[in-house]
Amino acid sequence: MARSFCTWRTLAQLMVLSSVLACSGQAAENGEVAEPDTQLTQQDTQLTQQDAQQLEARPTVFHVVNGSPEIRSRYTLSADEGDVAIRPAAVDQEPATPTCYRIDCATLSSGETLEPETQCASTLIAPLRVDIEPGAADANYQWNGAYSTLMPRNCYTDMTFEPGTPMLATVCFGKPAGFADVLETKCTEHPFAYGQPLLEIELE
């Protein structure tokens, strides 16, 4: 009976040992896979950081100088406002705004479309004029790097760009006339890259 008990105990120990070895083998196999998983996680984190950097708005300062021998003028509602319009170079021209306010598409329900508003109430303010003497510089304008595009639902959605994406800056200046008029207004387009910190614009 004692020998039989020892035999069963030996068999039990062997079964437990086999289970332990099997588990150890699985753990080893899992251990070999764990390291690539960690690397993938690190890569995912790096990609996420790169995506965040690409999505981050990159501002550009526009320095406008009058390089012509004549005064150049522009209209503005206040002396602090400029007329630098920004768009991606791939966009031929900005679409006409069909609504009175720039409504974010994210605020609309799925499938909702806004009706265009053709009559918009606004306060009438006499336009002021800013004159730039020959060789003088206009106020520096800083674009915050954000751009919204008009969608078919008559709402706007933010666009993101990779650094280096071709962009266009449009400035409009003319000749002063009378007290506050600007005549012969001419608009010129100036290419730059998204993320470019400074763009020098010389008026002709």
Do 184 and 70 touch, CB atoms closer than 8 A?
no
Co-location of 135 and 182 in the same domain: yes
Co-location of 8 and 90 in the same domain: no
Q: Are strands 147-150 and 60-66 parallel, antiparallel or unpaired?
A: unpaired
Co-location of 40 and 77 in the same domain: no
For the residues 33-38, what does the mean pLDDT come to? 49
| Better-predicted residue by pLDDT, 100 or 183 | 183
Nearest Cα neighbor of 84 from 12, 139, 20 is: 139
Question: How many domains is the chain built from?
Answer: 2
pLDDT recorded at residue 139: 86
For the residues 6-10, what does the mean pLDDT come to? 40
Residue 28 clears pLDDT 80, i.e. is over it:
no
Lowest mean pLDDT among 78-82, 120-124, 170-174: 78-82
Residue 47 lies in domain: 1-55
Co-location of 168 and 96 in the same domain: yes
Give all strands (DSSP E) within 3-152, no chain letters.
Answer: 60-66, 72-76, 84-88, 128-132, 141-143, 147-150
Nearest Cα neighbor of 141 from 53, 69, 186, 74 is: 74
pTM of the model: 0.68
| Res. 101 pLDDT band, cuts 50 70 90 | confident
Mean pLDDT of the chain: 78
